Each structure stands twice: as structure tokens, then as C-alpha cells.
Amino acid sequence: MIQFTEKDGAFIFVVRVILKSSKSEIVGEMNGALKVKINALPIDGAANAELIKILAKHFGVTKSAIKILKGQASKIKQIKIVGAWAANLPDVKTA
């Protein structure tokens, strides 16, 4: 199960990004983190922008409601989403 913290109407969780995939998609859970495949290169923030786009669509929030708190240049990122429900986190086995 994906580990998260709820605080002040937002929730915070960890994302593990797999870069250079054939398709951008949320693929499940890995060691307590949400695993997301990204079809973008980590150049000029393109991969981070694609990650935010995917998360916004999945959680039904605007892109501005999503912040990368830690790991802007890392494959493991800490994400904060305002106005989303933790129930939207997939409850799947480790991929």
C-alpha cells in the first residue's frame, strides 16, 4: 500500500519515476511509493511537467494543486497534492 501523510487539506506521498518509457502512466506501487512511467526525457523539467500532468488527471485536480517538494532532479520525488482524496491512490501490490 502506498504510504502517505494528510495535512491541512493536502496529502503528501512519494513517487518513483521510470523515465524514457513508451507510454506515460501510473503503473502501481513499489516499496510504499507510487510508481509512474514517464514518456519524457529529464531535460529542462520536461519529465517533471509530464509527471504533474499525469497526477493532475488521475486525482482530478489542476496542475497548480500539485507540488514537487523534494527530488526535482531525482527519480524518487515527494509530492504534495491539495484538494485530492487519498482514496484515489491505487491499492495494488508491488510491481
Q: What pLDDT does residue 87 have?
A: 61
- Tens of pLDDT, residues 47-68: 999 999 999 988 888 999 999 9
Q: What is the number of alpha carbons within 13 Å of residue 15 lying toward its C-beta?
A: 32
**pLDDT at residue 91 tops 80:** no
How far apart, in whole angstroms, are the C-alpha atoms of residue 15 and residue 29? 9
Q: What pLDDT does residue 94 have?
A: 30
Q: What pLDDT does residue 95 have?
A: 31
Which overall architecture, per CATH, does domain 4-83 show?
Answer: 2-Layer Sandwich (3.30)
> Which sequence spans correspond to the domains of the chain?
4-83
Enter the C-alpha cell of residue 62: 489542476
**pLDDT at residue 70 tops 80:** yes
Is this prediction's pTM over 0.75? yes
